Structure 1
């Protein structure tokens, strides 16, 4: 069947597909030939860079093994099976919501990859997987230019949750709970952007499957193409997209479909070697996809209970560590914990002598102030005389009025006031009548 396939033609076609794009000067591959270290080390003027460059490439979605082996969720005490269930559940939510929202397949694939990448930098115990699944889908719709409102995404996720838990279907009410949920989704979208360093564009292997099948002359085999496409969509629920390149995943989907349909593929030379893919990577990727179909279905409520239990354990450990750290810091900083030394003894003696001298100086100052007050009483006379003296005449404890009754005092006061008024009125009448002058002078 494959006797007529020319290997050299296939290799030439693959080289043409995978060649670098032409640069601004029109020369192909010239930028790729220069090493990144040399380009980053020297500028156009020949001066070294103070800081390294930020590389935003499509290959950033493939994570190193150091970040994959102990995931943040595993570090917080979550088992590997529970973590895989959360990854599967979140991606299934995203794919079902994408179908109800009539999103393109590329948008759903982007959302799943963003979800997988984010939870390799953060833990499922500290962050709600449902909120971040909605945030990743909201971000993916903007990246792939098929935007949807956060309200529509919240409605669809609520509907899916009600159907899966066999609850009565009710619309989302615009209440404070909905407002808080919407704010958390928007914050989740921003946090995903921050954690991924705004490198959210990625290369999907869907086009590569069609291209590779054209090279292998199977573009007209509809069942083969459809099965490879289905394996590709199912692999989004695994972490294959953060472990392997798109070319490896496309070859793994073709390899699985060929084994399933009993279709032979060229072996001498092997077809995947012409595409620059290793057989071990293909088999490992196929194994992860097959394990997905053998997993038991887990309810969301059980997973949430497990997360709550792990969250309480994590918070208790955090409090214990904080208490231990505070006790250690106090023990280290206490003077009793520090060993005695001659230098320290001298320092203590100096501190004591200083404190004594300061106390003596304070006592002297106080004595001096008291002596000044006793020696110069005349200095304060002027100030005391200027002040208004308090009138003790009305005081009940005045010596002259100690044994007198209040009624007599009132009578004396009224008499004095009446006499003052009478004197004043007599003076005024006398002045008005003109008794001081000759009254007859005016009558004439």
Structure 2
């Protein structure tokens, strides 16, 4: 049976990240690593999970904290995983036998997971490119003059950036990040957002826009966009972003 990433597992990744106060980059990196782990399981003969679901999730987040230089104590990561699985129980106190046992298990499993991932913990996310491309477009639109301070940036730009960011988050959740280069994925997310808000592209045509801002062809960005739109409910993201706070 194919090993798929469940909605429950994705929610666990998100909740654990929130409890650990992890930034978007670390949550997204951990989610991408978890998708890669599930892909490894499916490619194994016969397919077999190396760890239970909760351990795999916490291991991926643990590796992500190292990759993104957002260190968290191992015991804190273990306690978060333990609490999510046993919400009725208190956190494990320092020195407890169970905590020590889980720390030893996690240390051993970390190397096993790294081997399963082929020691490839590098994750390039589209989020950084989204900020870079939109800032560049704002500069371009103002005829070479830099946009105002972040707090005073045009509301149009903020709307496009916010929706593109949410689309990128959903692309992470759906395991699409490794399908195309991060810059191409970012351009596809921005194109979706700009069309949703009825914003014109700051170029003669779409081909020129993709060449300037994505350093790729229009056909490639269109392919990335179709992949995202086929996997993500764009309308639900727009509805959510339009709800009053």
TM-score strictly above 0.5: yes
Select which of 110, 125, 128 maps to 1:207.
128
Identify the residue that residue 110 of structure 2 maps to in structure 1. 189
CA distance in 1, matches of 2:179, 2:206: 26
Q: Is the 8 A contact 1:118 1:195 kept in 2?
A: yes
Whether the 8 Å CA contact 1:155–1:172 is kept in 2: the answer is: yes
Q: Figure out how many residues of one structure are paired with residues of the other and give that number.
A: 209
Distance 1:231 1:249 in 2: 10
The CA RMSD over aligned residues, in Å, is 2.9
Tell me if 1:268 matches 2:205: yes
Corresponding residue of 1:439 = none
TM-score, normalization by structure 1: 0.42
CA distance in 1, matches of 2:89, 2:74: 20
TM-score with structure 2 setting the length: 0.72
Distance 2:232 2:58 in 1: 24
Q: Is the CA contact (8 Å cut-off) linking 2:167 and 2:234 kept in structure 1?
A: no
Residue 118 of structure 1 pairs with residue 37 of structure 2: yes
| 1:12-411 alignment, distance < 5 Å | 77-78=1-2, 83-85=4-6, 88-123=7-42, 125-127=48-50, 128-162=52-86, 168-172=88-92, 176-217=97-138, 220=153, 221-265=157-201, 268-270=205-207, 271-274=209-212, 275=214, 276-277=216-217, 278=220, 279-290=222-233
- Please give the alpha-carbon distance, in whole angstroms, between the structure 2 residues aligned to 1:216 and 1:153: 40
Distance in structure 1 (CA, Å) of the matches to 2:9 and 2:165: 21
Counterpart CA distance in 2 for 1:190 and 1:293 is 39
Residues 188 and 252 (structure 1 numbering): CA distance in 2 closer, same or farther, change over 3 Å? farther
Contact 2:192–2:225 (Cα < 8 Å) also in 1 = no
**Structure with max Cα Rg:** 1
Unaligned runs of 5+ in 1: 1-76, 295-444
Query: Aligned partners of 2:173 and 2:49: how far apart in 1?
Result: 21
Q: For 1:192 and 1:241, how far apart are their aligned partners in 2? A: 20
For residues 15-60 of structure 1, the C-alpha deviation after alignment (integer angstroms, 9 at most, x for no partner) is: xxxxxxxxxxxxxxxxxxxxxxxxxxxxxxxxxxxxxxxxxxxxxx
Whole-angstrom distance in 2 between the partners of 1:169 and 1:260: 45
Q: Determine if contact 1:91/1:115 at 8 Å carries over to the other structure.
A: no
Gaps of 5+ in 2: 142-146, 148-152, 238-245
Tell me the equivalent position of 1:364.
none
Describe the SS at the equivalent of 2:120. Answer: coil
Shift in alpha-carbon separation, 1:115–1:292, aligned structure 2, 3 A: farther
Contact 2:125 2:177 in 1 (8 A): no
Residue 267 to residue 189, structure 1, CA distance change in 2 (3 Å) = farther
Give the drift of 1:216: 2.5
Q: Give the structure, 1 or 2, with the largest relative contact order (CA under 8 Å, sep 6 or more).
A: 2
Distance 1:209 1:134, change over 3 A: same
Deviations 1:98-136 (A, max 9, x none): 222122322222211111112211248523221011111
How far apart are the structure 1 equivalents of 2:205 and 2:234? 30
State the Cα distance separating 1:254 from its structure 2 match.
Answer: 1.0
